[in-house]
Structure 1
Amino acid sequence: MGTDFHVPAGELCRRQARIQAKLQEKDIDGLLIVQRVDLFYFSGTAQSGFLYMPAEGDPLLMIKKYLPRARRESALLNLTAIGSIRQIPHRIADTYGRLPGTLGLEMDVLPVNYFNKLRNLLGVRDYVDAAPLILATRMIKSDWEIDQMAQTAALSQRTFDYMTTTIRPGLSEIEFTGMYEAFARKWGHGGMLRVRDFLTEGYAWHLLSGTSGGMVGVLDSPASGEGTSAAFPCGAGGRRLAANEPIMIDFSCVLNGYHMDETRMFAIGDMPARAMRACQAAMEIHDAVLEKVRPGVTLGDLFDVSVDRAAALGYADPYLGPPGSKVTFIGHGIGLELVEAPIIARGRDIPLEAGMTLALEPKLVFENEFSAGIEDVFRVTETGYQMVSQVPGKIFIC
């Protein structure tokens, strides 16, 4: 953790080569990267600026603020200061001799007004959505990235260990999440969870105890929980933790920009028998999916395996939410953003590839009663999978 963290030059070069190959394949002359996470991925710095990636040649990093820090953080060779976005077309033309005929932009995240401003300013002939190319590049993680995620996983495990020693009846859900989040922050948790969808807010305090776990709501998730108010109606709320009830803790951890997303079931004293059986069923579904993981198997295949196993275990109704409120996914890619491509969902015919990192989260929701589930992060390998998560795959009775 800290200011000594840098993305190696070789890592940036490999990323550059992969995105440029995709640009050439699609006959896109250049790519202008604006979104903060994409900028960091391809440049190694998250300072305010713009990265122009030509289909061939070295990229150009244009920094509004703050160039000296960007120079310390980024291993790119071409960095320059700009006073405003009006200078972008001139810098590109001066560096490459011309403006691109076709320019790729991150159209999945650019606000309409900002896109129109860039379009009017740049005067490029054609604009295309390059977000799918960026996401496909980021979807395959290098060994260096896996090592970063392993370090985040170690911090997450340390935080779950802390939870087991401090959880107690009488604490409110939000109070306890504040305790373990503060612990994680002390050891490097970045605090800010990065999410790409403009309607989604990342937060680390998704703790649902007892009946809170049976509350469906705003989240595109099996259960939302109570939340702190109608203004933030998801995650932990004011309900007090109690003995002998199921407590689901879905904790998201981030270190040096790389995320982990893990869920474990807790109980103080004893886990009720019905909840225990549901927790064990979720774990069995989780393991059944992992048994099928290997390159070439589609995301939809994994989803179907989970649904079939849930039905075989007698949990078709509560699986992935109560009837009428079910979600159609069981996992998601993860890395520099909490939720990335690809999504393990019904009907997705995208095949698994070595290097993908995914969070697998089968969950059962008994409406107005409780939730049960588990979530782990794994990496697809050439022959199967490798766990990235380090938290023991068990039910914690404290």
Structure 2
Amino acid sequence: MDYSHVRATDPAVADAISSETDRQRTTLSMIASENHASEAVIEAQGSSLTNKYAEGYPGERYYAGCAYADAVEELAIERAKELWGAEHVNVQPHSGSQANMAVYLATLDPGDRILSLELEHGGHLSHGHPANFAGQLFDVEHYRVDPETGYLDYESLADIADSFDPDAVVSGFSAYPRQVDWERIDAVADAVGAIHVADIAHITGLVAAGVHPSPVGVADFVTGSTHKTVRAGRGGIIMCGAEHADAIDNAVFPGVQGGPLMHNVAGKAVGFGEALDPAFTEYAEQVVANARALGDQLAEHGLSLVSGGTDTHLVLVDLRESHPTLSGGDAEEALDETGIVLNGNTVPGETRSPFDPSGIRAGTAALTTRGFEEDAIREVGDLIARVLDAPEDDAVLDDVSERVDELCAAHPLYE
């Protein structure tokens, strides 16, 4: 990538950008919320559209000179409708969290009740954690996974909803490795007169490709991120029926944000266009196949997988049985030294601090973008297990680092 203009103006920033690109080239990104956008998406996000204010929506802007901004946003909207089969799409949210905020603003009043998946059981901060706006503005209760199976406990969810009487039921996750039964959760929401908000931030690409069931047309509102498994421009998205279009659009602007980041919307349009190519379905299928191969290989080494495996792009490992003295934070740090980049993560029944939890979470979306298939992913699983077994052994770490370098060279990024 050419950063010559940045280097001429600001060498320090150019050095940081170049170093980050080199870091991505020479490490294995396994953080489940990350991916590698195409150079076309990156170019769009670095385009002159960053200069343009376009408050409002196509054809109804508050500034002149928006003809090309309108064209880009309309492309993003139409492509999203085709990808996910949605009646109405808003592509302006700056993130998945802001997409959730807009839905709450459009449908709830402060003090209303939200029922959502507990954070340590795989939920997300914006589903009602007390440190987040959602937990500060709303009365929140949580449902959980079954402690024995690691699967969502739908019967318990229904019982909690019946007693809590929520105004909104939120489905979706940030660290749950199984498919979600959207229809079953929707029936619970309907039974108590609540809206159903399905957050597909992690699986937008898997849903678009048809390798995970879709909540579009089932839930009242579907929110998501656009830069994880779908590999588009960084940001959020909201999908809903036509009857909710005005409420959602008004909640996004002027409700929770001002002018859209039109360069990011351009990146979304390009990424959505790439996802409409039939090759994207093959990519998404490979992401899931790789995740299953990774989980199987880790299990071969005696590691405990939450729910026993995965249906998605991620695996969640509970270290408490196999490595009782090793925290997720220490595991993350040791792996990072070798160039394997993932994150410590809470697990169901967490007994440690969320800042140094009992598990690790690993995703396969970014490695699949680089061309990794099952055999290479299984080897990565072997390398992870070696590090976890000897996180302070310099000889092991050096040996794994050398193999990571070889794998990166064999699967080049941004050549």
Shorter-chain TM range is: under 0.3
TM-score normalised by the chain length of structure 2: 0.23
TM-score normalised by the chain length of structure 1: 0.24
* Greater strand proportion: 1
Structure scoring higher RCO (CA < 8 A, sep ≥ 6) equals 2
* Greater helix proportion: 2
Kindly name which structure, 1 or 2, has the bigger radius of gyration based on alpha carbons. Answer: 1
